[in-house]
């Protein structure tokens, strides 16, 4: 839920600048100047160390002297003075403040102490703070500019930016002015001592002028809360994130395959997907997609038509669309016939449509009408190169009314520079989405498609299991030691408590016990060295399959324990584990690791000893819905192969999906589990069985 106090950051009745300066080289001067020239409709007041005047307004030395109303304070004073400035604001009844000042935790322990003092005082008065160490925020429609960045503000528009980087804001504002790209709000969060990216999600989404929210993220303050809030916001307005640090080193060490393959960036990918947030790979892509989402109607499918007067760019466009998982629309017989009446015989009336260089502005318009009327077309990419015989802006004038009236998205690849500049100005003024190259348009179409696909399943939420034995699971975990692997027999009980079938494990500690137990279990058997210190037993020759007699079991006992002692002399060997051999089937891996930000991160893929080499795996944030388990299978060869492939018989994919969902709830319910892995899960034509499983707390 939105804190109503936060609205005062954007439309306050009166603003006071603490630290206003008459020196043009000071930040306090820049903030004061921007507030005045931005056209802010409320009262602008200044507080400084010395009395005087600035921009025709008095500089007060005491906040008590400032006339009402004042709802927002902008603090541009040295870090040691910020806490007392916050106290003065609290006593005056001001509930929101932007702390531009630096010198806090970004500088070390002393600065961190100042930040905590500031926060404590703000908490006493119920104040909310943006910053410190930020460049401020601006609201283009009110309007109001509390930054010290060079004016003017970017054009008023429909895209909001929430940024962890002040420098990013400065760059984007200058870029937006040059590109005539409109913003509704820009917020620099700085250190996020109080207000963070999640706090700003709802308050920005509630703005009537904002159609799309963009995020420059370096981290999130609370992963679970971010996912929950973002998922709610996305159902009203699109959210796009540019998350940095994709290739950061220093991932935590992990003993399981799942933990080894699941880096922190993988968790962000999974979290964004769970929330419906579109993750942009570049700055350029983020604002490309924002334009498309702000001004295009929904894309109801992935069938796109290409309309071009140049053959080569049409082929490039077709390749790009397919690269992004979009398909070329198949035209109806009627559509092809209508196009044939509009175009010369040498033109191509199939997709991509090549109208030839002789196409006029009217040809562009007439052909676009035909394509938009085809029920098999979900969207249209129009390629407009410089026209050889007439001004290209005529094409813009002919296309704009059709694009604006269409209930399907139409994007323009306006290819060229000087010869298409006037056309570009016309398209931008009409909020028609244009790109200089078709590849960028293809990526934007994919963003539109992914948003609609998320909205179609947004109501599908994970449903807790009602057929599990949570008490038995707690009992199985009762003897767990922090940081160590759970006893295999306890793992069996844990999985069984959540309805996951296992190949029962039995411990034998000497040769006599091995022979006696083997006779009870029957043959064939699997023999594994029993050692909590050896995570991957096959790596040390600690596994023997298909043991078919008492004598062979005793020999296997001697073999695996000897190999283990030779490979890992420091390891504790408890004996061997015996299991009945399971029936033939495909092998997959299922696992989970607890991400410190987002919680259970589920993995599925090709199992066995080569999982890290093959890397045929996919991840999703738990707990999982039924639909999410299906997506995980579809994304991997291991999952697709369950339908059967050549001589490989089909496996029970529904049983795999059920185990995935159960495993995700097991990790969700049992917070002490940090890693869990089933490798392999044997998938038979009917049913599955966990052959080997490990759990670490």
- In whole angstroms, give the CA distance from residue 605 to residue 477: 26
Residues 459-468: pLDDT tens digits? 888 999 999 9
Give the residues across from 380 on adjacent strands.
305, 410
Q: Which residues contact 586 (CB under 8 A, 6 or more apart)?
A: 638, 641, 642, 648, 651, 682, 683
Q: Which CATH architecture has domain 4-244?
A: 3-Layer(aba) Sandwich (3.40)
E strand or H helix that includes residue 563: helix 550-567
What interhelical angle do 223-234 and 197-205 show, nearest 10?
A: 10
Query: What does each C-alpha distance from 522 to 467, 501, 550 come to in angstroms?
Result: 31, 19, 9
| Predicted pLDDT of residue 439 | 97
Classified as helix, coil or strand, 304 is strand
Which residues touch 514 (CB under 8 Å, ≥6 apart)?
Answer: 508, 553, 554, 557, 575, 576, 578
Separation of alpha carbons 131 and 236, rounded Å? 27
Angle, vertex CA 294, rays to CA 291 and CA 298, nearest 5: 110
Q: Note the pLDDT of residue 459.
A: 81
What is the H or E stretch that residue 214 is in?
Answer: strand 212-217
Q: Report pLDDT for 262.
A: 59
* Chain Cα centroid distance, residue 238: 12
Neighbours of 380 (CB within 10 A): 25
HEC string for 64-122: HHCCCCCCEEEECCCHHHHHHHHHHHHHHCCCEEEECCCCCHHHCHHHHHHHHHHHHHH
Give the pLDDT confidence of 350-405 residue by residue, as tens digits.
Answer: 999 999 999 999 999 999 999 999 999 999 999 999 998 899 999 999 999 999 99
> Could you tell me what percentage of the chain is helix, strand and coil, using 3-state DSSP and rounding each to the nearest 5?
40, 20, 40
| Strand 575-580 relative to strand 525-530, pairing | antiparallel
Q: Is pTM, for the whole model, over 0.75?
A: yes
Domain assignments of the chain as residue spans, ordered by start: 4-244, 297-457, 504-580, 586-696
Spatial neighbors of 323 by CB under 8 A, at least 6 apart, are 442
Q: Tell me, which fold does domain 504-580 have in CATH?
A: Dna Ligase; domain 1 (3.30.1490)
At 580 the pLDDT is: 85
With a CB cutoff of 8 Å and minimum separation 6, the contacts of 249 are none
Same fold, 4-244 and 297-457: yes
Q: Report how far Cα 522 is from the mean position of its chain's Cα atoms.
A: 51
Residue 415 pLDDT: 97
For β-strands 525-530 and 183-188, DSSP reports them as unpaired
Q: Kindly give, in sequence order, each residue whose CB lies less than 8 Å from that of residue 208, ignoring residues fewer than 6 positions away.
A: none
Looking at residue 249, its pLDDT comes to 43
- Cβ proximity of 83 and 121 under 8 Å: yes
- Residue of 566, 514, 521, 526 lying closest to 692 (CA atoms): 526
Please tell me the predicted confidence (pLDDT) of residue 253: 44
What pairs with residue 327 in β-bridges?
A: 303
CA 659, CA 81: separation in Å to the nearest integer?
Answer: 58
User: b/e string for 314-335 if b means 16 or more Cβ within 10 A?
Assistant: bebbbebbeebebebbebeeeb
By three-state DSSP, how is residue 192 classified?
Answer: coil
Torsion sign over Cα 620, 625, 627, 633: positive
User: What local confidence, expressed as pLDDT, does residue 582 receive?
Assistant: 82
Question: Quick one: CA torsion of 280, 285, 286, 287, rounded to 10 degrees?
Answer: -170
Q: Considering only the top CATH level, what class is 586-696? A: alpha beta
Say how many residues make up the chain.
697
Q: What pairs with residue 303 in β-bridges?
A: 327
| In contact, 507 and 529? CB cutoff 8 Å | no
Return the H-helix or E-strand segment holding 130.
Answer: strand 128-130
Query: In this predicted structure, what is the pLDDT of residue 189?
Result: 96
Decide if 273 contacts 167 (C-beta within 8 A): no
Give, in order, the Cα–Cα distances in Å from 628 to each of 91, 274, 276, 461, 640.
Answer: 51, 9, 13, 10, 15
Ranges of residues in the chain with a pLDDT under 70 are 1-2, 247-263, 609-610
What SS3 class is residue 468?
coil
Do β-strands 239-243 and 278-279 pair in parallel, antiparallel, or remain unpaired? parallel
Residue 688: its H or E element: strand 688-690
Task: Indicate if the alpha-carbon torsion angle 395, 396, 400, 403 is positive or negative.
Answer: positive
Show Cβ contacts of residue 260 under 8 Å, excluding neighbours closer than 6 positions. Answer: 254, 612
Strands lying side by side in the sheet with 278-279? 144-145, 137-139, 183-188, 156-163, 212-217, 239-243, 278-279
C-alpha–C-alpha distance, residues 314 and 367, integer Å? 15
Residue 263 is given by DSSP the state -
Gap between the Cα atoms of 400 and 494, Å rounded: 63
H-run or E-run covering 288: helix 283-295
Whole-angstrom distance, CA of residue 271 vs CA of residue 599: 10
Per the DSSP assignment, residues forming a β-bridge with 352 are none
Q: What is the pLDDT of residue 1?
A: 58
Task: Give the integer Cα–Cα distance in Å for 436 and 483.
Answer: 54
Task: Give the CATH number of domain 297-457; options: 3.40.50.300, 3.30.70.20, 3.40.50.261, 3.60.21.10.
Answer: 3.40.50.261
- Distance (Å, whole) CA 412 – CA 435: 6
Contacts for 594-597 with beta carbons within 8 Å, 24 or more apart? 594/667, 594/673, 594/674, 594/675, 595/223, 595/262, 595/264, 595/267, 596/223, 597/219, 597/220, 597/222, 597/223, 597/264, 597/267, 597/271
* Helix/strand/coil (H/E/C) assignment for every residue in 383-441: EECCCCCCCCHHHHHHHHHHHHHCCCCEEEEECCCHHHHHHHHHHHHCCCCEECCHHHH
Among the listed residues 98, 146, 148, the one whose alpha carbon sits nearest the alpha carbon of residue 118: 98
């Amino acid at each position: 839920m939105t804190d109503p106090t936060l609205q005062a950051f954007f439309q306050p009745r009166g603003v006071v600048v603490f630290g206003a300066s008459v020196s043009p080289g000071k930040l306090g001067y820049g903030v004061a100047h921007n507030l005045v020239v931005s056209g802010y409709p409320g009262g602008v007041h200044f507080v400084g160390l010395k009395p005087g005047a600035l921009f025709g307004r008095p500089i007060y030395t005491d906040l008590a002297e400032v006339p009402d109303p004042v709802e927002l304070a902008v603090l541009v004073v040295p870090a040691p003075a910020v806490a007392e400035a916050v106290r003065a604001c609290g006593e005056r009844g001001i509930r929101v403040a932007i702390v531009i000042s630096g010198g806090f935790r970004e500088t070390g322990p002393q600065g961190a102490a100042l930040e905590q003092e500031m926060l404590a005082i703000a908490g006493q008065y119920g104040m909310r703070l943006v910053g410190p160490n930020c460049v401020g925020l601006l609201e283009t429609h009110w309007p109001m500019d509390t930054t010290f960045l060079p004016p003017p503000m970017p054009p008023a528009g429909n895209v909001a930016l929430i940024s962890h980087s002040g420098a990013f804001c400065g760059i984007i504002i200058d870029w937006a002015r040059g590109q005539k790209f409109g913003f509704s709000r820009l917020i620099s969060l700085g250190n996020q001592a109080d207000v963070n990216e999640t706090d700003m999600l709802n308050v920005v989404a509630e703005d009537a002028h904002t159609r799309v929210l963009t995020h420059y993220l370096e981290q999130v303050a609370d992963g679970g809360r971010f996912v929950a809030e973002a998922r709610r916001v996305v159902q009203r307005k699109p959210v796009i994130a540019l998350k940095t640090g994709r290739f950061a080193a220093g991932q935590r060490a992990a003993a399981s395959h799942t933990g080894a393959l699941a880096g922190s960036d993988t968790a962000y990918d999974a979290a964004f997907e769970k929330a419906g947030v579109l993750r942009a790979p570049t700055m350029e892509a983020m604002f490309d997609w924002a334009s498309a989402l702000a001004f295009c109607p929904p894309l109801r499918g992935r069938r796109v038509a290409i309309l071009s007067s140049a053959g080569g760019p049409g082929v490039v466009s077709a390749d790009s669309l397919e690269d992004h998982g979009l398909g070329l629309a198949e035209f109806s017989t009627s559509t092809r016939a209508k196009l044939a009446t509009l175009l010369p015989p040498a033109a191509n009336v199939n997709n991509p449509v090549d109208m030839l260089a002789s196409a006029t502005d009217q040809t562009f318009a007439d052909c676009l009408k035909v394509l938009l009327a085809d029920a098999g077309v979900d969207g249209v990419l129009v390629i407009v190169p410089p026209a050889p015989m007439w001004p290209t802006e005529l094409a813009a004038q002919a296309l704009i009314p059709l694009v604006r009236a269409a209930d399907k998205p139409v994007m323009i690849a306006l290819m060229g520079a000087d010869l298409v500049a006037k056309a570009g100005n016309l398209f931008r003024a009409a909020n028609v989405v244009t790109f200089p190259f078709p590849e960028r348009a293809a990526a934007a179409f994919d963003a539109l498609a992914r948003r609609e696909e998320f909205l179609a399943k947004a109501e599908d939420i994970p449903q807790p299991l009602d057929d599990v034995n949570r008490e038995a699971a707690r009992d199985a975990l009762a003897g767990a030691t922090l940081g160590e692997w759970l006893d295999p027999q306890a793992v069996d009980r844990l999985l069984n408590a959540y309805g996951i079938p296992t190949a029962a494990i039995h411990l034998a500690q000497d040769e006599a016990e091995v022979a006696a137990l083997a006779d009870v279990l029957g043959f064939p058997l699997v023999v594994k060295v029993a050692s909590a210190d050896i995570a991957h037993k096959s790596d040390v020759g600690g596994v023997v399959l298909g043991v078919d007699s008492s004598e062979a079991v005793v020999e296997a006992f001697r073999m695996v324990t000897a190999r283990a002692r030779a490979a890992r002399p420091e390891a504790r060997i408890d004996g061997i584990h015996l299991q009945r051999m399971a029936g033939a089937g495909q092998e997959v891996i299922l696992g989970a690791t607890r991400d410190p930000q987002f919680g259970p991160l589920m993995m599925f893929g090709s199992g066995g000893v080569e999982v890290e080499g093959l890397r045929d795996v996919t991840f999703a944030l738990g707990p999982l819905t039924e639909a999410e388990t299906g997506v995980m299978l579809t994304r991997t060869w291991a999952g697709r192969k369950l339908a059967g492939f050549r001589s490989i018989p089909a496996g029970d994919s529904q049983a795999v999906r059920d185990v995935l969902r159960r495993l995700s709830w097991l990790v969700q319910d049992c917070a002490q589990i940090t890693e869990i892995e089933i490798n392999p899960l044997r998938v038979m034509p009917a049913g599955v069985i966990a052959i080997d499983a490990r759990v670490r707390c």
